[in-house]
Amino acid sequence: MSDDAVFDAHDLNGLVRSASVIRVYDRGATGNRPPGVEPVLTVTARADLDELVRLLEVSRSTGMDCMCLGDSAFELLDHMGTAIDVLGWHHGSTLRWQGTSGGDIELAHGPELVAWMAAHGYPHPVGQVDRREQQRREQERAQESWTQAAPEAIRAELPRILAGTGSALPEELADDLARRLRETHPGEPAQALALLRWRSGGTGRYSGYPVHEAASSTLLDRLPPQAVFTALADVPTTDPAWSGAVRYLLAWRRKDIVLLRRIPESVWSMLAQVVHDETDSTWAGRYETCYRQVTHARAQRERARERSRPESTSPSRERIASRAPPRARR
């Protein structure tokens, strides 16, 4: 721990000890009292104040700033009722203090502080901590699912992918993964099938999923679309590859109409059968949107061809309009 971090912790602990009143707010803040809300707890009794001061002791700077304003705030006041400072409370474990530039500061007694607040009539932090713990467990399960779905040939490289979470797959790493996949899956359809099954792992969300889940899509983009369609032609809808196909083919990307127009009708029909099996219901709506895009693009091309043909050979508008899209299974 740096000298600056030690100094910050010492100063902040002294600042909290100097308070004669501590108000607790159910809204995050830093430096100033949260506007528009009343305190949920005002601590003035000496014994309670001493215990709260102890629980607000900090140990070290984390070196990082949380991107949110925090869940709660502590307003420190002196014996005259004058505000000394306001500290933001983040995720039950750190404090935000404007007096340091070293990032949020870790509480020495975070779990005790959460329990003390609940015992004194402010249970909200307990709920926040419980929800975050549940989210953490869900993230662990999703990452395990993603890891297990990865092709065996590239599992040794998964730590490198996870180390870069927060950014796209680096070109050099993508080259290494593609090479390893080719060594064990010589044919492009076989590579596509392995990658589609990998794409089926993880959270399954349409958006907001961890960046590392996009690694399979990055590698699929390197293959010709026909390799994907050929791979899908040989597997039943119960195969995880179809879940991967939903997440890959129907994902939003720039100029995605180019890929969507190349999807055969047989694949559209199968996607309509499996899209509603996805946990995230957004995929069903995405299917409808994508197919409308394709239908519109086809109609535009038909109209262009119609205008370029002699009147006697052009298809009727009724024939064009009669081509109904496959509907997603409800």
Q: Which pLDDT score is estimated for 252?
A: 81
**C-alpha to C-alpha distance for 119 and 88, rounded to whole angstroms:** 20
310: left (phi over 0), alpha (psi -120 to 50) or beta: beta
Q: Mean pLDDT check: name the lowest of 119-123, 149-153, 182-186, 306-310.
A: 306-310
- 258 Cβ contact partners less than 8 Å away, ≥ 6 residues apart: none
pLDDT value, residue 165: 59
- Confidence (pLDDT) at 174: 94
Is residue 27 very low, low, confident or very high in pLDDT (cuts 50, 70, 90)? very high
- The whole-number average pLDDT for the span 185-194 is 96
The whole-number pLDDT of residue 108 equals 94
pLDDT tier at 325, thresholds 50, 70, 90: low
The C-alpha atoms of residue 45 and residue 193 are separated, in whole angstroms, by 67
Site of tokens 């990032």: 103
Mean pLDDT value across the chain: 88
Residue 132: how many other CB atoms lie within 10 Å:
14
Lowest-confidence region among 3-12, 90-99, 312-321: 312-321
Binning the chain into helix, strand and coil, the percentages to the nearest 5 are: 55, 10, 35
CA–CA dist 267, 246 (Å, integer): 10
pLDDT at 122 over 80: yes
Which residue has better confidence, 248 or 308?
Answer: 248
Which is more confident, 100 or 190? 190
- Give the pLDDT confidence of 62-94 residue by residue, as tens digits: 888 888 888 899 999 999 999 999 999 998 899
The pair of structure tokens assigned to 237 is 């809808």
For the stretch 248-292, pLDDT in tens is: 999 987 667 888 999 999 999 999 999 999 999 999 999 999 999
Residue 320: per-residue pLDDT: 45
pLDDT tens string 127-157:
888 888 888 899 999 999 999 999 999 999 9
Question: What one-character DSSP code corresponds to residue 156?
Answer: G
Q: Please give the pLDDT value at position 43.
A: 97
Tell me: pLDDT of 26 over 70: yes
How is the beta sheet containing 21-25 ordered, strand by strand?
41-43, 21-25, 72-77, 83-90, 94-96, 105-107, 58-61
Q: pTM for the whole thing?
A: 0.66
For residue 123, is pLDDT > 60?
A: yes
Lowest mean pLDDT among 91-100, 160-169, 236-245: 160-169
Q: What is the pLDDT of residue 220?
A: 96
pLDDT of residue 170 exceeding 80: yes
Q: Quote the CA–CA distance of 85 and 77 in Å, as a whole number.
A: 7
Domain extent listing, the chain: 3-122, 152-321
Residue 311 pLDDT class (50, 70, 90 cuts): low
